[in-house]
Amino acid sequence: MSDAALPAAQVVRPSRLRRLEPVTFLWIVLIAALLVLVAAPILKMVVISFEEQDTGVFTIQNYVTAYGRARYLEALRNSLMLGTLSAAISVVIAVPMAWAVSRTDMPGKGFTWATVLAAFIMPPYLGAIGWILLAGPNSGWINVAWRDLTGATAPLVNVYTFTGMAFVIALHSFPLVFIFVKSALDLISSEMEDAANILGGGTWVTMRRVTLPLVWPSIMGGFILIFLETIALFGTPAIIGIPARINVVTTQLWQFFEDPVRVEVAAAFAIPLLLVTIALIAVQKLLLARKGFVSQTGKGGERRQIKLGPWRWVLFAWCFAVAMLSVGKPLTVLLQASFAKAWGRGFSFDNLTLRNYQFLLFEHDMAPQAVWNTVWFSGASATIAVVLALLVAYIVVRRLMRFADALGFLAMAPFVIPGIVMAIGFYAAYAGPPLSLYGSALLIILAFASRFLPIAYASSQAAIRAVHPEMEEAARILGSGRLHAIRKVTAPLLKTSLLGGWLVVFIVASRELSAAIFLVGPRTRTMSVLLYDLTEQGNFEVVSAFGGILLVITLAIVGIGMKLVGRDFMLRRE
């Protein structure tokens, strides 16, 4: 009896020890980190939206204030309409491009890819400034040329309108639709199109009746994402919307931060943004869930390019026009302005100057500091996000813990939180006592890390899924511990995709405005915030020069990324 009991006890003890392996502590640390980064700011925001300022007594007065005025409701309505219109324009722009690149023999596919990438990395507020220079009703280049050519007095285009603003936003959002739709189209085999052809459908009918319906969920998915990005956008509505007299939710939130600072009312006003986002993400999940049986049959299938004949030049013209409107023209006028004494005077030698760059780099007290802040905040937040995401993804994918999915849920949650709402949550939770992080670099780094955690998580998850556990198991059988196995086997295999994730987070963080705007202090202004401050005076020459510096930094990072990770690292859909 006692002889039998002894071995049993010996078996139990090591297994208990094994349960206390480092991964348990890691799990606890991760939960704590995610609570600090994700759950606390959001909970705090929801809580204070029901609190009276100073006393903290429960009240619904904040909601009454936030929705008690026609103007505030108008802002909400404007945001919803702007989101819908921008998303619709993006779909119109991007779907033909995606179809052309994925399914047809259109020339210039590399060029189209480059356009999509360039439109993606250009910060939306820079595009907005470019378009003010292009499509100001009187001074915009397009309108000046139009008047010269036709003798007309009315402007051809006006950026200071609702459609103008939606169009400018769409020109920098469409890459999301493109990526979604193209990757879905890539999965459809030509057999389905062949079937339609055999039954008498021409290219056009087939595309409309067969191909596009198959990728409908992806189109909707892209539409929803752009809608959400647009309603959370701050820079473009502030730069174009104020002269155009269009108030939206984000600019209204800014007004609630005027003295007296009403964080509580801002929180109450931000809640619907959060609810709309959650609802739409749910819709998107439903739509994308159907994707499995609409296009992926599990069979290989043949993929052939559709021969378009002369029509391929029409499609190429479309892609070329998009390239000009989204990147070519805005970039040209921004560059011109950045080297101009007065941009309105156009291209001429006596209008050329380096003064704008000189002012920023050598005379401006804050600009070099802002450049440095941007680089190191983005780097630090990308590192935090990637490390955290990798560990969470590892636990979730390998199902190491019972509640692993809770971790995954928390890591993805910031995806449904608009940046400006996140900033209000961080301000409410950490700006004041007891932590008093307001004005510190840490506050912004944490906010950025939290905001872009989902991007890092999605790429880590995909990367870890791709590494079969066998390799790690082999290491463990040979006696290495789990963390050792991760360090020596898994991590080296993941290096490239992790670097890709890190770079994407770095780039989106380096241009982030809405999450930074309420959190920066005098010494922690980023380039995006300083750029926003500079636009107040309408001094477009200096603003453009600063935008030029920002683009050079971004391009350098993208270049490094392409070299190390592969040309399509920004646009891979993971």
Partner 1 sequence: MFLIDRRQMLALAAWSAAATRAWADSPMNPQERELYEAAKREGEITWYTGQYSADASEAAGRAFNERYPGVRCNVVRSTSQVAFQRLSQDFRAGVGQCDVFSSTNGGHYVQLKRQNRLVKFRPVNADGLLPILRRPDPDDYFQSSFLGIYLMGHNTNMVSEAEAPRSWTDILDPKWKDKLAVGHPGYSGAIGLWALQMRTMYGPDYLRRFERNKPQVGRSSIDPVTMMTAGERAVGVAVPSASTLFAASRGNPLKLIYPTEGVIAAMSPSGIPTNAPHPNAAKLFQEFQTGPALSTAVRLLFNESIRPDVPPPEGSRPLDQVTMLAPSLEEAEKGVPEVREQWREIFGV
Residues that bind partner 1 in the complex, under the rule CB under 8 A: 71, 74, 136-139, 160, 238, 241-243, 245-247, 251, 255, 257-261, 263, 341-344, 359, 363-366, 427, 431-433, 436, 438-439, 518, 521-523, 525, 533-540, 542
Please choose, from the candidates 124, 156, 114, the residue with its C-alpha nearest in 3D space to the C-alpha of residue 571: 114
CA 243/CA 168 separation, integer angstroms: 15
Of the pair 18, 523, the CB lying nearest partner 1 is at: 523
Q: Which is nearer to partner 1, 208 or 523 (CB)?
A: 523
352 phi and psi, to 5 degrees? -80, 140
Question: How far apart (Å, rounded) are the C-alpha atoms in residues 216 and 181?
Answer: 8
- The two structure tokens encoding residue 574: 């993971």
Q: How far is the CB of 281 from partner 1 (least distance, A)?
A: 30
Contact between residue 43 and residue 267 where contact means Cβ atoms under 8 Å apart: no
* Shortest spacing between CB 260 and partner 1, in angstroms: 7
Quick one: which H or E segment has residue 277? Answer: helix 263-289
Minimum distance, C-beta of residue 129 to partner 1, in the bound complex (Å): 12
Say if residues 226 and 86 touch (Cβ distance below 8 Å).
Answer: yes
Taking a C-beta distance cutoff of 8 angstroms, is the pair 256, 266 a contact? Answer: yes
**Bridge partners for 51 per DSSP:** 58
**In Å, how far are 35, 191, 359, 419 from 387, measured between CA atoms?**
16, 43, 38, 21
Q: Among residues 420 and 534, whose Cβ is nearest to partner 1?
A: 534
Task: Report CA dihedral (312, 318, 323, 328) to the nearest 10 degrees.
Answer: 110
Supply the minimum distance, in Å, between the C-beta of residue 142 and partner 1.
13
Question: How far apart are CB 539 and partner 1 at their closest, in Å?
Answer: 6
Strand partners, 306: 104
Nearer to partner 1, 285 or 341 (CB): 341
Pick the closer one to partner 1 by CB: 329 or 525: 525
Task: Report how far residue 286's alpha carbon sits from residue 291's, in angstroms, rounded to the nearest whole number.
Answer: 9
Report the nearest approach of partner 1 to the CB of residue 190 (Å). 52
Cβ atoms within 10 Å of 149's Cβ, excluding its own = 9
Report, in Å, the least distance between residue 128 CB and partner 1: 14
Of 302 and 363, CB closest to partner 1: 363
Residues found in the chain: 574
What are 466's two structure tokens? 């791709």
Report the residue number, 330 or 454, with the smaller CB distance to partner 1.
Answer: 330
341's CB contacts (< 8 A; 6+ apart) are: 351, 352, 353, 355, 541
- Least gap, CB of 324 to partner 1 (angstroms): 22
Question: Of the two residues 432 and 566, which places its CB atom closer to partner 1 in the complex?
Answer: 432
CB-side neighbour CA atoms (13 Å) of 541: 17
Closest separation between CB of residue 438 and partner 1, Å?
Answer: 4
The single-letter code of the amino acid at 290 is: R
Task: Pick between residue 107 and residue 521 the one whose CB is nearest to partner 1.
Answer: 521
> Which lies closer to partner 1 via its Cβ, residue 71 or residue 402?
71
What CA–CA distance (Å, rounded) separates 517 from 444? 10
Bridge partner residues of 352 (DSSP): 340
CB of 429 to partner 1, least distance (A): 11
Nearer to partner 1, 532 or 569 (CB): 532
* Residue for token pair 């409410």: 428
C-beta of 512: minimal distance to partner 1 in Å?
A: 19
Half-sphere exposure of 249 (CA within 13 A, CB side): 30
